[in-house]
Amino acid sequence: MLLGKLQKRFLCTYAAAAANQSRRQWPTVLQVTKTNFTEALQQLEDHVHSSDFISVSLRNTGSYSSSWHRLLPIDTSDTAYFKAKYAADRFQVLQFAVCPISVRSSKLISHPYNFHLFPRDVLNLGMPSYTFSCQPSYLTPMAQEGFDFNACIYDGITYLSREQESLSREKIGNLVPSDYMANSISTPSVADSIFSERIRSRVKNWRKAFNDDSCTKKTEEALIKSLQKLMLGSGEYSSRPCLSIDVCSDRQVQLILEVLGEFNDFVPMIVPAKGGGAQAVRIVLTSSEEDKILFEKELQSQEKEQNKHVRGFREVIDLISTSEKPIIAHNSLNDFSFIYSKFIASLPPTFDKFKSSLLLNFPYVVDVGHLMKEVRRHLYTTPDMEISRGGSDGKTLGLGSNAVRIGEIFAKICSVMKVNPESLGKSKDGGLKSYVNNFDNRRTVSVKDLVFIWGFKKGTSAQLLKKILCNSSFSSHDEEAFSDIRLLDKSCAVVAFSKPGSSECFLKAMHSSGGLLSAASYGTYSKACQMGMWEVDLADALDRAVMLDGHDLSGTHLDDPSEIIWDDDLMIDLDDL
């Protein structure tokens, strides 16, 4: 919704210019499900490589489940991250729109894709997500817009995060071509050498038998084969003879591999047991040196296919990540919390760790939302013009068109700021430098000057609260003590003090008065977010945090006393609560 507004404001001039050239056509969004994923991925690869930047947009199963859980004007980067993390941990991504965009002679060329996702547990390991949350109040408007849930659930592409992929390797029973383990066994015991000797003779016999067999008569072959299979565990693997030897420890695997090192026409593969470890070693007999190389190549490509299958949609993320192109998002903190938690790894406990780890994967992220705020002044100077888009408005653009819009807004901003989008990736010191990877808020008010109060009757207005506080004994000696008071939800309000130190006095006064109202410093709020006390009412969450921590009178609880934005634009409209 907000996006729509932004777009309206931003696209006008841009589109008007474009409309002069030709009637602007929206590119059709390629809808991708598991049936056309492979082809789409190949196409996308080309488009990504030739693009100047890539815009992304996500559709999830929910956003925030209580009014105070969303980003509030009082949130610092840390508390904002905790909120984003809370959402990303629970909700699911249903659609992931990717739009590689290139600018050629001031013309935008965009190739929008809309990937449908569903966390299908193909490996039967409870991954990528065992359960996920849905928010009916979020899904209902999506359904009214015509969102196709069936397409996602029936044909959505599954995925594993990088972390999950390595976890799954430990667990699933794929054949793993063994790398000869370099470290040989230090001191072989008697049992070890007996075992090795037994394996050596068994393998020798088998190979001999096979070689004899192949040159003699081929009658009774079927019978012999089945007997062999039964008695010796021999069979065929990709039309080559093979032998399986059961093992009961990693040590035995190592011993077998050592023995096999003495032969040069064997390729050993390890059959992993469910729950880790090895269950058997499968030895494949190749007919020649060339055949051996051929077979090893076969195995490699097989593994590649398998990996592709396991990673699923994450291939797209890896592609974007390795391309190192600028990524444009509208709500980067939220979107990238989702991207990180679904496709990279579990979200780290702090914002700083998240940011540094994210930057390793996505070195160049631009948030059009933040950018917007910064360049708003420029845009007020541009005249508002209606845009004609061949009679189609936002709703009929089809699913996944948000990424296109974000991309176009960004292109517009670039043109306003006289930044050449083509040079974005190459030189990072363009005009946008200060906006890149900016997940933080602009800072204006120190959180030390904020006090949370609750315990009043639900539905009390901020004005009434202000009156109560003005008449209280505390403020009698300082009329202008607090600059503002705002409701955060129906249960809790925040008071901003204008003089440093007065928040502490206020807190002290509140605690000694013992009235019905409770008060706490920003540290308590921060604690509630950090500890995941996501009660429906903020008042309840703060009560819990106070119980945990005791009253924190000093207000200096924070290690790094941050400042937050105190912006009238972000004033909470109680109608939205």
Partner 1 sequence: MKLQWLVVRALSRTLTKPSTVSTSRFFSSSPAPSPDFAIKNVTRQNLDPVLADLRFLIKDADFVSIDLEMTGITTAPWRDSFEFDRSDIRYLKIKDSAEKFAVLQFGVCPFRWDSSNGSFIAHPHNFYIFPRQEFPADSHFHDEFLCQATSIDFLAKHHFDFNLCIREGISYLSRAQEEEALRRLHEELADPRSGCSEFGEKPVTRVVDILFSEKMKCRIQEWQKGFSFEERSNDLDKRFQTVFFKTRPALQLNGFTRNQLRLIQLVIEKHFKELVYIHTKGESASANHYIVYADTDIDKNLLMKEVKEDVHKEAILKIKSAVGFRRVIDILCSEQKLIVGHNCFLDIAHIHSKFFGPLPSTALEYVSSIHNYFPYIIDTKILLNANYALQMKMKKGSTSLSKAFALLCTQISPKIEELGLVFNPHVKVDVQVDDMRSSSWNSGAKHEAGYDAFMTGCVFAQACNYLGFDFNLHPPSGNLALDEKLQKHVNLLYLSWINCDIINLTTGQQMAESSLSPSRKFPSSKIVFQNIIIIWGLSSTKLKARDIRECIAKTFGSTSITSVYHLDETAVFVQFSKTEFVSKFLELKERLTRSNSPISVLHHMTKLFESGKVHAANYEIYKEICDSPLSKVMFADQANAVCTTPSSTPNTSIIMDFMAEDVVDSPYAVEARCSK
Query: Applying CB under 8 A, which residues contact partner 1?
Result: 61-62, 65-67, 92, 118-121, 126, 128-137, 139-140, 142-144, 148-150, 153-154, 170, 275-277, 459, 461-463, 489-490, 531, 533, 536-537, 544, 547-548, 573, 575, 577
Q: How far apart are CB 301 and partner 1 at their closest, in Å?
A: 28
> Using an 8 Å Cβ cutoff, are 281 and 180 in contact?
no
Nearer to partner 1, 449 or 489 (CB): 489
Nearer to partner 1, 149 or 210 (CB): 149
Between vectors from CA 281 to CA 278 and to CA 287, what angle results, nearest 5°? Answer: 155
Q: How far apart are CB 395 and partner 1 at their closest, in Å?
A: 16
Q: How far apart are CB 254 and partner 1 at their closest, in Å?
A: 16
How many other CB atoms sit within 10 Å of the CB of residue 185?
Answer: 13
Q: State how far the Cα of 113 lies from the Cα of 96, in Å rounded to an integer.
A: 8
Q: How far apart are CB 161 and partner 1 at their closest, in Å?
A: 13
CA 222 to chain centre: 53
Nearer to partner 1, 26 or 159 (CB): 159
Structure tokens at 386: 């209606």
Nearer to partner 1, 374 or 537 (CB): 537
Q: State how far the Cα of 280 lies from the Cα of 244, in Å rounded to an integer.
A: 6
Q: Which residues pair with 484 in a beta bridge?
A: 496
Q: State how far the Cα of 498 lies from the Cα of 275, in Å rounded to an integer.
A: 60
Nearer to partner 1, 91 or 439 (CB): 91
Nearer to partner 1, 112 or 156 (CB): 156
Q: How far apart are CB 136 and partner 1 at their closest, in Å?
A: 5
- The total number of residues written for the chain in this structure: 577
Q: How far apart are CB 499 and partner 1 at their closest, in Å?
A: 23
Sort 423 into a burial class: Cβ within 10 Å, 0-12 / 13-18 / 19+.
exposed
234-237 and 176-177 beta bridge pairing:
unpaired
Q: How far apart are CB 25 and partner 1 at their closest, in Å?
A: 29
Between vectors from CA 317 to CA 77 and to CA 99, what angle results, nearest 5°? Answer: 90
Nearer to partner 1, 137 or 512 (CB): 137
Sort 225 into a burial class: Cβ within 10 Å, 0-12 / 13-18 / 19+.
middle
Q: What does the DSSP assignment read for 486-553? A: EEEETTEEEEEESSTTHHHHHHHHHHHHT-S-EEEEHHHHHHHHHTT---SSHHHHHHHHHHHH----
Q: How far apart are CB 158 and partner 1 at their closest, in Å?
A: 9
Burial 21-41 (b: 16+ CB within 10 A, else e): eeebebeebbbbbbeebeebb
Nearer to partner 1, 136 or 383 (CB): 136
Q: State how far the Cα of 11 lies from the Cα of 366, in Å rounded to an integer.
A: 18
The conformation of residue 571, written as its DSSP 8-state character, comes to: P
CA dihedral 394, 398, 401, 405 (to 10 degrees): -20
Could you identify the residue written with the tokens 């924190």?
A: 552
CA distances from 429 to 322, 364, 370, 434, 508 (A): 20, 12, 18, 9, 49
Nearer to partner 1, 65 or 357 (CB): 65
Nearer to partner 1, 21 or 463 (CB): 463
Q: How far apart are CB 380 and partner 1 at their closest, in Å?
A: 16
Q: How far apart are CB 406 and partner 1 at their closest, in Å?
A: 26
Nearer to partner 1, 120 or 443 (CB): 120
Q: How far apart are CB 544 and partner 1 at their closest, in Å?
A: 6
